[in-house]
A = this chain, B = another copy of it.
């Protein structure tokens, strides 16, 4: 189980290559990567603010909950803060389990909770100004399924 909150870019492929390696009890690995989209072509960059101290604690608590609910052999959460350009990876989660059901469910759970319960706030800076990304009702609703 590990958590990293960092300003520096990271390479999800390389992280995944080093994740849960050398274990003989892992049959399934699921990863998610969140990437800065630019649907309109107008996004200059994204700024991600976070709450140092609380962020790591909140993520660790979410991860502990996932481990308690599913048969996980390992898990990883990396989340960036600061300025990110379109196409850059914002964050990733990875889960390792014996079977795919646990690995998928835990990864989706981690994502749903990271979206709405980890103290990050996204601001989009476009050619015409800057604005905070509003939380989506469906993200809050997604928590209801767990």
The interface of chain A, by Cβ under 8 A from chain B, is 11-17, 22-39, 41, 86-87, 98, 100, 103-104, 107-108, 111
Q: Check B104–A37 contact: CB distance below 8 A.
A: no
- Interface secondary structure of A, over-half rule: mixed
Q: Check B25–A29 contact: CB distance below 8 A.
A: no
Specify which of B15, B24, B35, B104 is in contact with A28 (CB 8 Å cutoff).
B35
Q: Check A16–B24 contact: CB distance below 8 A.
A: no
Question: A36 contacts which chain B residues (CB < 8 A)?
Answer: 27
A28 to B33, CA, bound (A): 6
A109 to B110, CA, bound (A): 19
A27 to B41, CA, bound (A): 14
A132 to B103, CA, bound (A): 24
Question: A108 contacts which chain B residues (CB < 8 A)?
Answer: 104
Q: Check A37–B27 contact: CB distance below 8 A.
A: yes
Q: Considering the complex of A and B, which 10 residue pairs feature the smallest CB-CB distances, nearest first?
A: A13-B17, A13-B13, A27-B37, A24-B38, A29-B33, A13-B16, A31-B31, A30-B32, A104-B108, A27-B35
